[in-house]
Amino acid sequence: MPAAENDNKYITVEEDFSFAKMISTRKKDFNYLWRSKVKILIVGLIGGALGAVMAYFWPVTYTAKLTFVVEEGKSSGGGLLSSLAGQMGFDIGGLTGGTSGVLAGDNVLQLLMSQKMLKQTLLTPLDSAGKYTLADKYADAYKLREDWKDIKANVKKEVIMFPPDTKNYTRLQDSLLHEIITKLAEKELSVNKPDKKLGFFALNATSKNEQLASLICKRLIDEATIFYIETKTKRLRVNVNRLQNRADSIGRLLNRKTYAAAGANAIMLDANPAFATLGVGAELQERDKRVLQTIYSEIIKNLEVSRSMLMQETPTFQIVDEPEMPLKKNKMRYSMGIVLGGLVIGAFYCLFLLIKRKPESQV
């Protein structure tokens, strides 16, 4: 029992929560801060001045925007079912097909932001010389070469360049190029669909260099277009090439057989009628010629059909709006810097005053 009595001595009773008491406390805090309004105003003005300085030194970036649309070569709608559903206000086109393409639906987001597309884009030549690439332009725009000289992996302290041919790349070059790609994908590139009901896509590239932002947008779309069309029409292109090679081969055989048949017919003009078998050779040449003509005509017909199918299946990758100079300039405005600096510094100073006051009020 004595032990239980001792335990009861340390039991604390929590005070009931009261809105009135909370409001009263906040009024006391406000009154305390109001007595220090001059100091708070001065600190706020200092914060505004610091915000203006921050706006002055805030890095300027440029945003290039490119809008494009992808039209599939062959419509794959839901037919009668889709039409009936459309009359009732339902859209089941995405359920009935046409969403498994390389750039169908939201796959375009993954394709344009993929490491392969970004790497191919960065390694495209900047000019006709072909040695200076977009990756080199990026490194110069962000002044990365001096930093790369001091890293531990760069034992020779050499200048890192990114030529288009990656066969002779060192481990250091691959690593630094991967860092550029990662930064570009995570912070400086964005692909979105402005309207979910439409097939338009918007690609935005932000960079410290105006020319670099514009080139990244355009080159990335070019690389994605080539990849998309080649992937979409690969099977049909292989079939067209196979038929074309066979048509060329049969055509050469037919030409040789035509000359041979003409020569055999010329021999028949001076042949002795007593030798009846002399016409067999001419007849065989003529027969082989007709067989080759039949085969050649069928191959040409199939080739033209395959070409027509290839044209129908080839999608349209149409650019609607291209980035034009001058690009959108991103810079913190002085008014925003002053307001932001004043509010943040002033708020922290008010918090400091309240924390400093609390111990005194508890005495």
Mean pLDDT of 3-28: 62
Q: 211-240 pLDDT, tens per residue? A: 999 999 999 988 888 888 888 788 888 888
Q: Which residue has the tokens 């969403």?
A: 99
Q: How far are the Cα atoms of 46, 186, 353 from residue 39, in angstroms, in the given order?
A: 11, 43, 10
How confident is the model at residue 123, as a pLDDT? Answer: 92
* Whether pLDDT at 93 is above 60: no
- Sign of the CA dihedral running 350, 355, 359, 361: positive
Distance CA 41, CA 47 (A): 10
Q: Whole-angstrom Cα distance, residue 354 to residue 71?
A: 62
Contacts for 85 with CB less than 8 Å, ≥ 6 apart: 78, 91, 92
pLDDT level of residue 88 (50, 70, 90 thresholds): very low
Mean pLDDT of 33-47: 85
* Packing angle, helices 134-141 and 210-232, rounded to 10: 150
Model confidence at 178, in pLDDT bands (50, 70, 90)?
very high
Q: Helices (H) and strands (E) in the chain — how many of each?
A: 14, 5
Of 62, 61, 215, 82, the C-alpha closest to 137 is 215
In eight-state DSSP terms, residue 169 is -
Percent of the chain with pLDDT over 70: 78
165-178 mean pLDDT: 88
Confidence of residue 181 (pLDDT cuts 50, 70, 90): very high
List, in sequence order, every residue forming a beta bridge with 192; answer none if it has no partner: 202
Res 277: pLDDT: 57
Mean pLDDT in residue range 69-73: 71
What share of the chain has pLDDT > 90, as a percent?
Answer: 11
Which tokens in the block code for residue 348? 């922290």
Which pLDDT belongs to residue 331? Answer: 83
What integer is the mean pLDDT of 78-82? 44
User: What does the alpha-carbon distance between residue 53 and residue 51 come to, in Å, rounded to a whole number?
Assistant: 5
- The continuous run of DSSP H or E covering 294 comes out as helix 278-313
Rounded CA separation 327/330 (Å): 9
59-65: average pLDDT? 89
Question: What is the rounded average pLDDT of the residues 18-44?
Answer: 79
**Most confidently modeled of 125-129, 341-345, 351-355?**
341-345
Helix 115-122 to helix 210-232 angle (10° resolution) is 120
Average of per-residue pLDDT values in the chain: 78
Residue 119 pLDDT: 92
For residue 26, pLDDT over 70 is answered with yes
Residue 92's contacts (CB-CB under 8 Å, 6 or more residues apart) are: 78, 81, 82, 85
Distance CA 76, CA 86 (A): 15
pLDDT confidence of 14, banded at 50, 70, 90? low
- What value does the CA radius of gyration of the chain take, rounded to a whole number of Å? 38
Q: Is the pLDDT of residue 7 over 60?
A: no
5-9, 256-260, 327-331 — which is least confidently predicted? 5-9
Residue pair 72/231 in contact (Cβ under 8 Å)? The answer is: no
Range from 49-53, 81-85, 194-198, 355-359 that averages highest in pLDDT: 49-53
Average pLDDT, integer, range 102-126: 80
pTM above 0.75, yes or no: no
Grouping H, G, I as helix, E, B as strand and the rest as coil, residue 65 is strand
Nearest alpha carbon to residue 175 among 206, 205, 144: 144
C-alpha to C-alpha distances, 283 to 80, 251, 257, 272, 289, nearest whole angstrom: 59, 20, 12, 16, 10
Q: Residue 242: what residue type? A: R
